[in-house]
Amino acid sequence: MAKLLYTWSKDLVVCTNGHAVLDNDQKQLLKSRNIEVVEQAVTMFIGHEGKLRQVEFADGTRIERTGGFITPEWKPKASFQGSLGYEVNEFGGIATNEWGKSSVPGVYAAGDAAYVMPSQLIYAAAGGSKAAIGINMELTEEDFV
C-alpha cells in the first residue's frame, strides 16, 4: 500500500497498529524513502467535521495527518471449517489446489470462499470454472475406480 501511495504523495507514515507486519528489510526500504513507520497501537483518530487532523498512539503521542487509508482485515463471511474440517489458507479462505479441491474429499471452493481478499468477479468466475472442471474430472474418474 505504501508503494502505491508513494506515487501520489511523498508525505507518508505507515502505522502498523501494534502488529509486526513488516520485516527489517521492508522497514529499511520505507526509511530509505523517508516514510516513517510507527509500530504502536493506534488509540484514536482525531478530527473535526469528518476531516482527520491527528492520529493518537498508545503512548499518548500524536502525529498530524490530513488523510489516511486503513487496510481492512479480510475474513470469510461464513465459515464451515468447524463442521467440514477443511484446511484454511493464509487469508482465512478454504485452501484449495489449482482445480478448487480442498483437503476434504468432495469439498471444492472458488472465489471469495477460497481467497478472502477484495472481491473480483472475473477471478471468482474463473475459479468457479476451474472448480467445475475439477469436480467433473473427479466424478468421471469414479466410474473407473
From first to last of the 145 residues of the chain, give the pLDDT tens digit. 899 999 999 999 999 999 888 999 999 999 999 999 999 999 999 999 999 999 999 999 999 999 999 887 777 766 788 889 999 988 788 999 999 999 999 999 998 888 767 678 888 899 999 999 999 999 999 988 8
Domain assignment present for residue 71? The answer is: no
Domain assignment present for residue 106? The answer is: yes
pTM above 0.85, yes or no: no
Structural domain total, the chain: 2
> Residue 121 sits in which domain range?
81-142
CATH of residue 53: 3.50.50.60
49 and 86 share one domain: no
Domain assignment present for residue 132? The answer is: yes
Q: 3-state SS string over the chain? A: CHHHHHCCCCCCEEECCCCCCCCHHHHHHHHHCCCEEECCCEEEEEEECCEEEEEEECCCCEEECCCCCCCCCCCCCCCCHHHHCCCECCCCCECCCCCCECCCCCCECCHHHCCCCCCCHHHHHHHHHHHHHHHHHHHHHHCCC
